[in-house]
Structures are given as C-alpha cells and as structure tokens.
Amino acid sequence: MAEARRIEIGFNGGQVVSARLDDAGLTELRSAVERGDGWHDLETEEGNFALDLGKVVFVRTAGGSHSIGFSDN
C-alpha cells in the first residue's frame, strides 16, 4: 500500500471508525459515498471493511503530517 493517512468515517448513531488509507483508496471511498446506498469494500492498513454507504454521514481526513520531538525547521 502507498503512503497512508488517517481517516475517520462517521455513521448514523454517532459511531466512528478510524483507519489508515492511501490517496487512491480515499478517492474511491469518496466516489462510493457520493453514489449513495449499497455496500462498499474498503481495504485499509488495518484490514478490510464492508461499509453500508447509506449509513455514512461523514469522512474526515487528517491534516498535514505530525511529528513529535525536535526538527530542523
């Protein structure tokens, strides 16, 4: 899998699933959510998810990279 970033998928009822997903997977997920109802298989670093798209209320992506400690910047 290419470099992945943290995403959160929110569902009706308030449940949230966090995962790491590459840019191609994120683009595919957004397209599937825009199409609407049905199921979508999502391959992440954590494993595979089967999502009921009719219950997805948001997809949040993490901002820029975070680091802890000292840097040369």
Task: Identify whether 72 is part of a domain.
Answer: no
Structural domains counted in the chain: 1
Q: In this structure, what are the phi and psi dihedrals at residue 6, rounded to the nearest 5 degrees?
A: -75, 130
Whether 36 contacts 53, CB under 8 Å: yes
Which residues constitute the domain of residue 41?
Answer: 4-61
Task: Identify whether 70 is part of a domain.
Answer: no
Task: Identify whether 67 is part of a domain.
Answer: no
State the pLDDT at residue 17. 94
Task: Identify whether 54 is part of a domain.
Answer: yes
Task: Identify whether 14 is part of a domain.
Answer: yes
Task: Identify whether 71 is part of a domain.
Answer: no
What is the SS3 assignment for the chain? Answer: CCCEEEEEEEECCCCEEEEEEEHHHHHHHHHHHHHCCCEEEEEECCEEEEEEHHHEEEEEECCCCCCCCCCCC
CATH code for the domain in which residue 32 is found: 2.30.30
Task: Identify whether 42 is part of a domain.
Answer: yes
Q: Considering the entire predicted model, what is its pTM?
A: 0.77
Report the distance separating Cα 67 and Cα 18, nearest Å: 19
Confidence of residue 52 (pLDDT cuts 50, 70, 90): very high
